Amino acid sequence: MKKPVLLGIVFGLIVLGYIVYSSMNLAGHKVEVCITFNGRTNCRTASGASEEFARRTATTNACADIASGVTDSIACENTPPNSVKILK
């Protein structure tokens, strides 16, 4: 095998390894949020690079099942959650 081909393969493997390694470390925080809106309660878990991002994502996911329409979704996401559990 020629040297440039071998160097290209090694470089590609290094880049691929870096991408896999860095993407595995993005979900450093895991949060479970339970929220009640219009008499309905839902809990969802989400992961994220920060605790705040994971909490917002879990809140959005929980509200997706219990709110209908844009106005309800916004109102639900602005409702204080019943509980927030830090899982990781």
Task: State the pLDDT at residue 45.
Answer: 93
The reported pLDDT for the residue numbered 70 is: 92
DSSP letter at 30 equals E
| Ordered alpha helix ranges (H), 31-79 | 51-66, 69-77
pLDDT at 58: 94
pTM over 0.85: no
pLDDT 10s per residue in the chain (88 long)? 787 888 888 888 889 887 777 666 566 889 999 999 999 999 999 988 889 999 999 999 999 999 988 999 999 999 999 999 998 7
Please state, in angstroms and rounded to a whole number, the distance separating the CA atoms of residues 66 and 19.
36
At residue 25, the pLDDT reads 59
